[in-house]
Structure 1
């Protein structure tokens, strides 16, 4: 007997037939003698509809009331899922975030989970009952309903699995696992049987849409084994596990791209202490995330050119913030380019293999692709290139690192 958390995303519960199909999967696990908690998202498109209602009602709305509205999507789904399970003979009961409760911070719209009280769920497991829990929502210390931000149901599921000390957390989605790259760009992309937490965290943060970044971080911190599976086909999917569970590491396990980047360059920035803080501090205060950063110092060492990337949707705001500090910083010129993409290779095997960067740069050079910015970590190399070369670069790197399926 195992204790399992099964999470079904919006497409997996997008209509009544899909809810019934998901319920049948739950019944299979129950009949195998397992203790099961189910976490569900709102039905596909429902959260967007609810968000639009709040925006159309009041552009500058109270975020506490926003959470009250958008949290209702999951309330509908847990009720329908519980009904579907009961209809096929499974003892099931729905739980909203505040009923467990799922304790969170009071940052409405993007709360973080502090802890989950599971004593009652565990007691009911002993009675053979399945818990159907609303993802994405929780309860702040002030008694107000909170939501966790987009993709928060993945985080809810992993956090619940950690609190329950579950044997695994199955994430059912519209893909059948984690691939070496986007199969829409590279038809010969391979599905990975296993991938490490660190690799999955890098891939998720770099644009892969399979799992939400916070959920992978939680899984890694608490040692939760995550199994990414399809809701629509019977397939083994991909296990996200500790590095020690993978005997031989591939040099590179994935190629990904982040298409929502914009490049900003400040020229002739005075090269003195405090200047970088004077630039990036105001951007952080405006909640604008800065990613890749490169600095080139002039020959005499008095000035520098500073290049960095921001999310494309934040480019106009970033330019306004930078203009506001121009007199203080005294840079001479600002240029902005929204037509760029970040392409990355990821693999824990980079720690023990040499020549990874050489292979990457050579593959791009052979295709005539110019590299504008480079950043690295222990298991990742990222380059910034013109977005018109995205598909060509991904295909070239996928082949160069031997990831194409036979």
Structure 2
């Protein structure tokens, strides 16, 4: 029988009533003739609760025990979903990561999937099981310890299973009914897209869109897994949602597919840094070793052998970055001051149509200028333009760009 992967996020399984609703959707697909692999998250709020308990018990916790605790939320959901399906006379059983097994690296709390041998689950399908309910977010290390994949890791689990089992499709059920041109809470004109290319979704996910985890999109793009984003709260079970697919499957691409934003950005500037070969390598090498995710980088024109180096980073990583820069000041580099601005936001436009359409950057900058919004930093790629602006102008910028690129007409 063909295989379908269905993933249900925390809000979709937040209580027993929602688990029953999700199980009914699974039953519909089984009736169509699919063998179904269901990937479940922990009930909404449960992972945060477990993380809090770990922190209270041991502030400097053992990462192996952290994974053992926080992975338990998915185990509960998987068992309850399997029981619910059995009550519906659908042959189902639950699977924890180590039982499949989902083989991962040993990097606890940030493990990466290395292999998912399909033999164990396929053997059960051959015996008459119709649904394998798998605990998402978790796996097993080469040492035999439970591992977790990082927050949002159930999306990655679902895509990895779809790739490993050659699934016809991977349906991601969440609390939104698809991928929108921007956040509908900010822009009432936002429209749901019928289709979006992998590359566009990857950029939107990395730029702040919360619909899919970045790693899951990377995996889907690599293995050509068709992804469909759907709402578990829609009454009709055949709602179209948004299909994330190859660029070739989209007949006519919009120049801009969406506008993304990220509130939690900061801007950091090293003032009067010596402008000589190797300085950038020292600065950003130190930041990388400290686990700081740098995005935008701007270096001023050198004057008298000195320059300013500006970069953006997540606000939660400011202290880590400041510590890293303090450690190299005076030893490896000299700078007069370290200035941090936490009152900024990143706004981006994304679209594969930019490859063949000129003038997108000029239009974007003029729109922002007309609204009196000053651009602090700019970064671009083949299908993306991002700017850093004062946070108070973020919503205005999103709305103005959405209007200027006529995304209310997107489909």
Quick check: TM above 0.5?
Answer: yes
Pairing partner for 1:259 from 255, 259, 263: 263
* 1:389 equivalenced with 2:354 (yes/no): no
Distance 1:160 1:398 in 2: 36
Q: Deviations over 1:71-120 (max 9, x none)?
A: 11011011100010000110001100000100000000110000101112
**Matched residue of 1:258: which SS?**
strand
Deviation at 1:123, TM superposition (A): 2.7
| Alpha-carbon distance, 1:128 to partner | 4.4
Which runs of 5 or more structure 2 residues have no equivalent in the other structure? none
CA distance in 2 between counterparts of 1:403 and 1:28 reads 34
Q: How does 1:191-210 map to 2 (within 5 A)?
A: 191-210=192-211
Structure 2 counterpart of 1:313, from 307, 313, 316: 316
Q: What residue is the counterpart of 2:53 in the other structure?
A: 53
Cα deviation digits, residues 235-271 of structure 1 (max 9, x gap): 2100000001001111000001011111011122111
SS at match of 2:99: coil
Match of 2:20 in 1: 20
Match of 1:378 among 372, 375, 382: 382
Structure 1 CA distance for aligned equivalents of residues 327 and 215 of structure 2 = 33
Contact 1:189–1:405 (CA under 8 A) maintained in structure 2: no
Per the alignment, residue 186 of structure 1 pairs with: 187
Describe the superposition over 1:149-203 as per-residue Cα deviations: whole angstroms up to 9, x where unpaired.
1000000000000000001000000000000000000011000000000000000
Query: Which contiguous aligned blocks of 4+ residues in structure 1 show a shift greater than 3 angstroms?
Result: none
Counterpart of 1:218? Answer: 219
Q: Which moved more, 1:168-177 or 1:115-124?
A: 115-124
Q: Does 1:164 align with 2:196?
A: no
Question: How far does residue 303 in structure 1 lie from its aligned partner after superposition?
Answer: 1.7
Deviation at 1:320, TM superposition (A): 2.3
Tell me which of 402, 405, 409 is aligned to 1:401: 405
Aligned to 1:103: 103
Paired with 1:129 and 1:254, the residues of 2 have a C-alpha distance of 38
Post-superposition CA distance 1:119-153 (Å, at most 9, x none): 12123323242100010000000000101110000
8 Å Cα contact 1:188/1:405 also seen in 2: no
Equivalent position SS for 1:183: coil
Preserved CA contact (<8 Å) 2:93 2:129: no
Unmatched tracts of structure 1, length 5 or more? none
**CA RMSD between the two structures:** 1.1
Deviations 1:202-234 (A, max 9, x none): 000000000000000000000000000000103
Q: Deviations over 1:268-291 (max 9, x none)?
A: 211111111121111111111111
- CA distance in structure 1 between the aligned counterparts of 2:38 and 2:149, rounded to whole angstroms: 18
| SS of aligned partner of 1:329 | coil
Distance 2:261 2:201 in 1: 14
* Cα distance in 1, alignment partners of residues 72 and 378 from structure 2: 43
**Residue pair 2:346, 2:389 contacting (<8 A) in 1 also:** yes
| TM value normalised by structure 2 | 0.97
**Residue 292 (structure 2) aligns with:** 288
